[in-house]
Structure 1
Amino acid sequence: MDANFWHQKWQNNEIGFHLAEANPLLVKHIEQLQLATGSRVFLPLCGKTRDIAWLLANGLHVVGAELSELAVQQLFEDLAITAEVTDHGNLKHYQGKNIELWVGDIFTLTKQQLGPVDAIYDRAALVALPLEVRKRYSAHLTTITNTAAQLLICFQYDQQLVAGPPFSISDEEVQQHYEEKYNVALLEKVAVEGGLKGLCPATESVFLLSRS
Structure 2
Amino acid sequence: MKDIWIATSNKNKVREFNEMFQNVNITVKSLLDLEIPIPEIPETGTTFEENAFCKAAFLSQMINRPVLADDSGLEIIGLDHFPGINTRRWAYPITDNKIINDLLIEKCELLERRDAQAVCVLCYIDPLKKVTMYFRGVTKGVITDEPVGVNAFGYDPIFLLPEIGRTYAELTLTEKNNYSHRAKAFRAFKKWWLGE
TM over 0.5: no
Higher relative helix content: 2
If the TM-score is normalised by the length of the shorter chain, which range does it land in?
A: 0.3 to 0.5
TM-score normalised by L of structure 2: 0.35
TM-score normalised by L of structure 1: 0.33
